[in-house]
Chain A
Amino acid sequence: MIDDTTVRHVARLARLRLDDAEEQVMREELSGILEHIDAIRAMDLDGVPPTTHVIELENVLRADEPRQGLSQEDALREARAVVDGSFEVPRMD
């Protein structure tokens, strides 16, 4: 079972605010996932290549040809705040 500090750390990295009850649920669910991973780790996997993709496809490449994108107006349509054609966000420096 992972500890509360680890749960809070992961939640923080994911920008999630959890109350005590939620934290407890997450702790149990994450622990379950990690136990599953440990079970896999316990197996003899020598010579088994790691699977990063379940579909056996490679080299899906696109030609370097420009396509019409969004107008500035459309690009900014969902912005919470706009300043001179740019998205405004909380000051970051």
Chain B
Amino acid sequence: MSDLEPVIGVEIHVQLSTRTKMFCGCAPSFGDAPNTHTCPVCLAHPGVLPVVNGEAVRRALIIGLALGCEIAPRSIFHRKNYFYPDLPKAYQISQFDIPICGRGEFTAIREDGSELKVGITRAHLEEDAAKLTHGGGRRAGADGSVVDFNRGGTPLVEIVTEPDLRSAADTAIFLRQLRQTLLFLGVSDCSMEEGSMRADANVSVRPVGSQTLGVKTELKNMNSFRFLERGVEAEIARQREIIASGGHVQQETVHYEPDTGHITSLRSKEESHDYRYFPEPDLVPVAPDPAWVERLRSEQPELPIPLRRRLVVEMGLTQEDAEVITGSPELVAYFMEAAGLADPKSCANWIRGELRAQLRELGQEPWESNVTPAHVAALVGLLADGTVSVPAAKEVLAGVIETGDDPATVVEARGLGQMDAGDLSAIIGEIVNANPDQAQQLRDGKDKVMGFFVGQAMKRTGGRAEPQAVQALVRAAVLGE
């Protein structure tokens, strides 16, 4: 049999962090007492009318523009009909054939720097369902489910991709970078754990070279990218096995069990896909003014993917540096300010390395700490002009974190300036004379012993010596180099 290749597309639901729900003035909430954010509209009492939240439309447009989508000059809402207790109207207001954002493309960057292009089919607006908890009923978890309508009606943007992904790893890369982009746009919290970003994957396999798609399954409800990647991997393996043994993949919804690594089939609801979409008569079309769309386009922030490329190409950062720095909009702003004042690569090294390491113990992020971007730049400057050694610079940084004083002040106050060459040379001479055995080892070519000398020198100088200078001086004293 010919080789099989996986074909994967994803559907991502993003909860917009607006102040009110999609069609009523209730504040969406997470974690509040149940049914404390509801009104006759989101509880679907008879006779009520929905009104579209303009801010949700604005955010949908922002997302569409960032994904390079065609913006529909006029889009309409549809009713998607099905009965389920989390949907009080027995239909979800969604969009069908004329979504607000049409075709687009998103380019992610793999670790090796190669591009991963994923076609966007559409991005449309809809409302979230309420939260249904099974087994929470009064009769001892036997037959009751309970509904909390706080989440019901929260604005969602559903992003649907083309089946352009070919591996579980690529799927995870795409989703992580899409999430990062959405965070930079400031449209959603994008928390997988809290459910403000949810991803389903459509998975199928087909013979390599085939243009037709195999039968797909839908992998549902993944609450982390790690599980999603593993789930897609497991589902691909399951489908390969079925086909290898001469069987056929069934179109169904499947679930990945992170604990066991198993794929289980969710009972398929009979007639569940007959949604009988029809235009929502209670809502008029949304026709975004082209001038508004253009203004939103011009106001887009620099997005993490192009920014990442710019950091590498223009500022000399490594792919890995760039990935860490673009981890959040706050960190980007912090880095950019420092990089405007000192060598960008050195600033990146200190920010992603020592600064974050020292702050981790305090549970702080760089932009929340005493260390300003200007401090980072000043520290990089003190290293570059030889005022401080690398070990001393780490102590200077600790001092800045503690006091908020600028690095030069900390150097002064704590006597951390680099020793002058003559003083250091004298100290090295003393250390060599006091340790004839180690000196002999060095003469015998045992280079490992150099660590001993550097350690001694650091101890004697309180870290104010540059390790490389120490090594050179030791060599000179012992080997006459």
Contact = CB atoms under 8 A, between A and B. Distances in A.
Contact of A13 (B84, B133, B147, B271): B271
Contacts of B134: 91-93
B135 A91 contact: yes
Given A62-B53, A62-B54, A86-B148, A91 B143 contact: yes
A3 to B, nearest CB: 17
Contacts, number: 146
B342 interface: no
B54 A86 contact: no
Interface stretch (A17-25, A29-37, A69-77): A69-77
Given A61-B52, A65-B25, A89 B144 contact: yes
A89 B18 contact: no
Contacts of B74: 58
Contacts of B138: 81, 83, 88
B269 to A, nearest CB: 10
Contacts of A67: 20, 24-26, 39
B40 interface: yes
Nearest to B148: A86
B25 A69 contact: yes
A64 B20 contact: yes
Given A60-B52, A62-B51, A62-B53, A75 B83 contact: no
Given A13-B274, A86-B147, A87-B147, A62 B25 contact: yes
B137 A88 contact: yes
A24 to B, nearest CB: 22
B284 A69 contact: no
A66 interface: yes
Contacts of B40: 70
State the majority secondary structure of interface residues on B.
Answer: loop
A59 B293 CA distance: 14
Nearest to B22: A62
Nearest to A92: B145
A72 B36 contact: yes
A63 B286 contact: no
Given A52-B76, A61-B54, A66-B19, A84 B26 contact: no
Interface string B24-56: 111100000111111110110000000111111
Contacts of A57: 284
B287 interface: yes
B113 interface: no
B290 interface: no
B285 interface: yes
B146 A69 contact: no
Contact of A91 (B26, B145, B271): B145
Interface of A: 9, 12-13, 15, 52-53, 55, 57-67, 69-72, 75-76, 81, 83-93
19 contacts: A15-B83, A52-B76, A59-B284, A59-B285, A61-B57, A62-B52, A64-B19, A70-B38, A75-B43, A83-B136, A84-B34, A86-B34, A86-B136, A86-B147, A87-B148, A90-B85, A91-B143, A91-B144, A93-B135
Q: Which 6 A-B pairs have the closest CB atoms?
A: A67-B25, A61-B54, A64-B55, A86-B146, A69-B39, A52-B279
Interface of B: 18-20, 24-27, 33-40, 42-43, 51-57, 74, 76, 81, 83-85, 132-138, 142-149, 271, 274, 276, 279, 281, 283-288
Given A66-B25, A89-B144, 6 more contacts: A60-B51, A61-B54, A61-B286, A64-B54, A67-B39, A70-B39
